[in-house]
Amino acid sequence: DIHLDINNIYVNAVNHGIVAPRDYIDRTDLARVSYMHMAGHDEETENLLIDTHGQPVCDDVWDLFAYACRRLPHSVPTLLERDSNFPPFAELEAEVARIAAIQQQAEEERHAAA
């Protein structure tokens, strides 16, 4: 099975400029994805991101997560990683709720298409 770390995909795409993040998702055997991670990163420069798990999830990573959820054939458990710079608990709850809402939207789209 595959553990898909959405922030790592985004950070590596920016840092290495090798492949667009959505292309990476498209090339992954999504039927094998059994778990995902969401996190934030530090932006050192425009072309250098550090996967610190110490910042809120940025809009580009949210968009990539939504894209991955729509492409997956099924919902999978997803963990919000936060290792430092802890905000008030309500902010973490809001990020977790956003994860759940994106997954719910993708699930509804899958059922509507079936």
Per-position pLDDT tens, the chain of length 114: 999 999 999 999 999 987 799 999 999 999 999 999 999 999 999 889 999 999 999 999 999 999 999 999 999 999 999 999 999 999 999 999 999 999 999 999 999 987
Kindly report the pTM of this predicted structure. Answer: 0.94
Residues facing residue 37 across a β-bridge: 5, 79
| Structural fold of domain 2-113 | TIM Barrel (3.20.20)
SS3 50: strand
Contacts of 17 (CB under 8 A, 6+ apart): 47
CA distance 57 to 74: 23
